Structure 1
């Protein structure tokens, strides 16, 4: 059984343990042997998962919180493996995920990943493509934009705001969801986009919070046909976080998952001897059942066998979409602010590729094709290409 010992570059949440709910009782017994108590249980029934918040027990009472779940996780696995012939329960840490724009490890100047303001006055949502198709998006909050009012954009968590409350300055990552939503609907303007907020204002989330939002797509009475995921993480041992693997296993038989492959290709600044390299897998993109999308002939796109599709956009590094219509959007390195008075931007990255392809698939599905058939049509037409990787390539 694949373990979850690898660390996401942005670490994991302290004192939180992910377990399979069908194995919860035996895990509780194991924790009791270690004098570890459970102060909170957060279940996700759709995936048979629960998140446990742990504390050390002292003389039968709750004591201090568990600061590092790693030693607890290791001891539990060792005890179960010793008693059960090597078998261990489904256990893992609560990893953190990040937006794939400017993905870790940073391979170029941070300004390389900054969005560029575009003087766009007319709506980009023209035509009837995508009519009758439901698409899912999991990203940052969707902020209001005058041109998004003409499309069917739904936010079931009611977190669609004009601007953050009591806040004078946006982070550039906060426009990530608005950008991805606009890019999807630009390709399929008559589709219904169901956008859920998982990433925070810095484009980050714990894997658990991310998966809880994914579960809502499976529980919807009207399911989406595909979900666009423009975020992910990488692990030092190259193995997927268990919670993401479980979520994709449950979702992919019912819903196509289109995910960004990451921005860690063969570019200057990547140290080949480091633990996280340009050859590292991005999760969940590298999981079976996921359409992992890269950008054709872009140096930042990973050249790895789990990449399934590249988009054949004529200008792959110049995706144009809706963005925050705001002043003082904060760019981090070098530290500065940029105004976006028109509410449009150009950006680059495999997040753009995933959103672009997701919208194109939805447009093809409006003709009565399944998501898989629509993707195949795009590949045959040359709009998208099947990625070809050969053993022995550098």
Structure 2
């Protein structure tokens, strides 16, 4: 994937996202247009800056954005947990617990694992939803699936592979998958990826796609930026943004994004979960990052939603008057691992 850095944001060079109302206004800069699943990708003429065109179109009241690149958020820089580590097997059985709650998981896919052997949801997966086997974030989706399964026993997962093996996806690909979810939306949606925008404004097409899932509680990671700069989609008003606490559950993990736009937090350091069987890994790993604290919050909401609508369960779980509040990280959600 070709990527251009704009400050601390990343975009697909020469590409613009818009809805159909902006096509005419953008025609003088347009070389080609591809339209699918509710989003138009405008391929700009050579040398045209997508950020400048975005500013022009927005000045006309139109919805447009560069095609931002989003990244999974395991911890990759500094500290003792800068990569994924092999871990000994962890005992876990789904048992007889069954839940009608469905959690959508947009990530690198999910690999075969003993924890969900024979489960209905895994048996319905196709080859396009299998976890990536190569790349710096291969196994990311499988790791998150394990956290969700343990936090919400009996839940059904609905994985969709949107991130490649290096944990990268462009905004257009994510919006298209979200558009397809409208016909059969999950109760809870886990998005353990994100990024900055070039101007720190909300990405309108991504916001529209998530907002259209009116019955779904969307949970997204606050990012491993260590800053209060808004990280999208977590900072969208319609999304529960999740930061990470250290293993002691007292302090913010130093890498975690934070600020008034973060709604909840959970442990992010040294979590153990399912993983690929490859090299030194025998299907289990230890990893850190806001990607994984997000799965704990999404799983807690899914578990609570067994007995009430997901939105009501989320509101109750995140009621700051009844639960511990962490400054700039929101409500603490405990892990049931």
Question: Same fold per TM (> 0.5)?
Answer: yes
Confirm or deny that 1:95 pairs with 2:62: no
Offset at residue 243 of structure 1 (A)? 2.5
Once residues 303 and 89 of structure 2 are traced to their aligned partners in structure 1, the CA distance between those partners, rounded to angstroms, is: 23
Aligned to 1:272: none
- The 5 A counterparts of 1:285-296 are 285-296=234-245
> CA separation of 1:127/1:102 partners in 2, compared to 1, >3 Å: closer, same or farther?
same
Given that 1:98 and 1:231 are in contact with CA atoms closer than 8 Å, whether structure 2 keeps it comes out as yes
Given that 1:128 and 1:188 are in contact with CA atoms closer than 8 Å, whether structure 2 keeps it comes out as no
Once residues 210 and 87 of structure 1 are traced to their aligned partners in structure 2, the CA distance between those partners, rounded to angstroms, is: 26
Unaligned runs of 5+ in 1: 1-5, 56-65, 165-169, 266-277, 328-338
Confirm or deny that 1:142 pairs with 2:135: no
Aligned to 1:271: none
Confirm or deny that 1:306 pairs with 2:306: no
Given that 2:220 and 2:242 are in contact with CA atoms closer than 8 Å, whether structure 1 keeps it comes out as yes
> CA separation of 1:120/1:309 partners in 2, compared to 1, >3 Å: closer, same or farther?
same
Once residues 240 and 381 of structure 1 are traced to their aligned partners in structure 2, the CA distance between those partners, rounded to angstroms, is: 25
Once residues 297 and 186 of structure 2 are traced to their aligned partners in structure 1, the CA distance between those partners, rounded to angstroms, is: 16
Given that 1:100 and 1:349 are in contact with CA atoms closer than 8 Å, whether structure 2 keeps it comes out as yes
Of 200, 204, 224 in structure 2, the residue corresponding to residue 238 of structure 1 is 200
Q: TM-score, normalised by structure 2?
A: 0.83
Aligned to 2:289: 349
> CA separation of 1:380/1:72 partners in 2, compared to 1, >3 Å: closer, same or farther?
closer
Aligned to 1:112: 81
Offset at residue 68 of structure 1 (A)? 4.4
Larger radius of gyration: 1
Offset at residue 212 of structure 1 (A)? 1.1
Offset at residue 113 of structure 1 (A)? 2.7
Given that 1:136 and 1:227 are in contact with CA atoms closer than 8 Å, whether structure 2 keeps it comes out as yes
Once residues 159 and 217 of structure 1 are traced to their aligned partners in structure 2, the CA distance between those partners, rounded to angstroms, is: 16
> CA separation of 1:135/1:370 partners in 2, compared to 1, >3 Å: closer, same or farther?
same
> CA separation of 1:206/1:365 partners in 2, compared to 1, >3 Å: closer, same or farther?
same
Aligned to 1:44: 37
Given that 2:84 and 2:287 are in contact with CA atoms closer than 8 Å, whether structure 1 keeps it comes out as yes
Aligned to 2:189: 227
Residue deviations 1:309-336 (CA, integer Å, cap 9, x gap):
122x5xx412221001111xxxxxxxxx
Once residues 73 and 322 of structure 2 are traced to their aligned partners in structure 1, the CA distance between those partners, rounded to angstroms, is: 22
Given that 1:69 and 1:93 are in contact with CA atoms closer than 8 Å, whether structure 2 keeps it comes out as no
Once residues 180 and 40 of structure 2 are traced to their aligned partners in structure 1, the CA distance between those partners, rounded to angstroms, is: 15
Residue deviations 1:239-296 (CA, integer Å, cap 9, x gap):
2233222222323x2211011111222xxxxxxxxxxxx1211100001011111123
Once residues 195 and 161 of structure 1 are traced to their aligned partners in structure 2, the CA distance between those partners, rounded to angstroms, is: 9
Offset at residue 357 of structure 1 (A)? 1.4
Aligned to 1:372: 311
Given that 2:132 and 2:165 are in contact with CA atoms closer than 8 Å, whether structure 1 keeps it comes out as no
Aligned to 1:320: 272
Given that 2:75 and 2:288 are in contact with CA atoms closer than 8 Å, whether structure 1 keeps it comes out as no
Residue deviations 1:199-248 (CA, integer Å, cap 9, x gap):
0010001111121112222133xx21010000000134322233222222
How many residues align? The count is 318
- The 5 A counterparts of 1:120-131 are 120=89, 122=91, 124-129=92-97, 131=99
Unaligned runs of 5+ in 2: 246-250, 330-337
Aligned to 2:248: none
Once residues 71 and 282 of structure 1 are traced to their aligned partners in structure 2, the CA distance between those partners, rounded to angstroms, is: 18
Given that 2:105 and 2:159 are in contact with CA atoms closer than 8 Å, whether structure 1 keeps it comes out as yes
Aligned to 1:215: 179
Offset at residue 156 of structure 1 (A)? 5.3
Given that 1:310 and 1:385 are in contact with CA atoms closer than 8 Å, whether structure 2 keeps it comes out as no
Aligned to 2:27: 31
Once residues 101 and 7 of structure 2 are traced to their aligned partners in structure 1, the CA distance between those partners, rounded to angstroms, is: 35
